[in-house]
Amino acid sequence: MKIIQSFWSKPSYKKKNVKVHDRNNGGWTDKKYNYFSWALSCLQFRKYYEDVELITDETGYEILIEKLKLPYTKVDVCLDKINHYHEDLWALGKIYAYSIQDTPFIHADGDVFIFRKFEESFESSPILAQNIEMGYPVYKETFKELQDHFTYIPEDILKYYDTFGEVNGINMGIVGGNDIPFFKQYTEKAFEFIDRNTDHLSKINNIGLFNIIFEQTLLYSIADKERIPVNFYINNINQGFDGICDVLGSSHQRSYLHALGPFKTVNLIAGQIEDLLRISYPRYHQNIIRLLRTHQI
């Protein structure tokens, strides 16, 4: 199985995090932790997989490849093509990365860290993802706002809402699978969802929250409509995501970590991730420290 990661740099350099789901510095409180995170994520995937590819833009290539010297096996510099989109649509780089895949893949965010290979039964899934997100109030609240201000919502989401009276989604810290036609269909609909509402983005309070709908809700709604099962890597996690970023967990428990959203603001966790990089990959850690001290990143 091929691993892909994507880094669209525009959301990471908006200078300031103002609202929840902003992605300056990848959502971390300090840019150094964003670099530590990317390095540790890439290196851990390279430890277990032969093919780990990066989809990025020119700025991302300069930082992750030329300066951090991360050992990706292939790099596609193509995400400058989406620079005309709003900087708060941070999931769009991921959507584009899914759209250009023609062979089975697993996409992993730059804040996901693995400590063993995924099981073959998981890798062979038509669609795979991290975990389901059912009954989260943020989905309902965001969808209501989109209904009030957008002129187009995909039929798949509306059908799911009409059937169940709510909208749900999946956490895509990891996502992918073997059903490439599904991902072609899904990404085409995601871009249509955005493009047909570009003039209405300014009407919603938090553009960042739109990402969970066009990325996470849309995929889950299409899969439900097409009756394609999604294989979840984690099946028993609560809405607080307890344990998913237990950096100091025992080796048999710590097989998968995801420093999602709120965990990035916890300095203790950020420091523990830096320590993992420093201990496991000291050369990469030292290089990042040098680049920071000389103001090269």
Q: What is the DSSP string of 53-70?
A: EEEE-HHHIIIIIIIS--
Give 150 or 254, the one with higher predicted confidence: 150
**What single DSSP character describes residue 93?**
H
Is the model's pLDDT at 19 over the cut of 60?
no
Q: Which helix (H) or strand (E) holds 76?
A: strand 74-77
Q: Give the model's pLDDT for residue 241.
A: 87
Selection from 127, 86, 81, 80 nearest residue 107 by Cα:
127
Give 236 or 193, the one with higher predicted confidence: 193
What does the pLDDT look like over 231-275, one tens digit per residue? 999 998 888 888 888 887 754 457 899 999 888 989 999 999 999
**Average pLDDT along the chain:** 93
Structure token pair of residue 196: 């047909």
Q: Give the model's pLDDT for residue 236.
A: 86
CA atoms of 278 and 36, how far apart (whole Å): 9
φ and ψ of 258, to 5 deg: -140, 110
Structure token pair of residue 100: 């250009």
User: Whole-model pTM?
Assistant: 0.93
Q: Give the model's pLDDT for residue 253.
A: 54
Question: What separation in angstroms does the CA of 24 have from each of 100, 103, 116, 194, 237?
Answer: 25, 31, 30, 21, 27
pLDDT band (50, 70, 90) for residue 158: very high
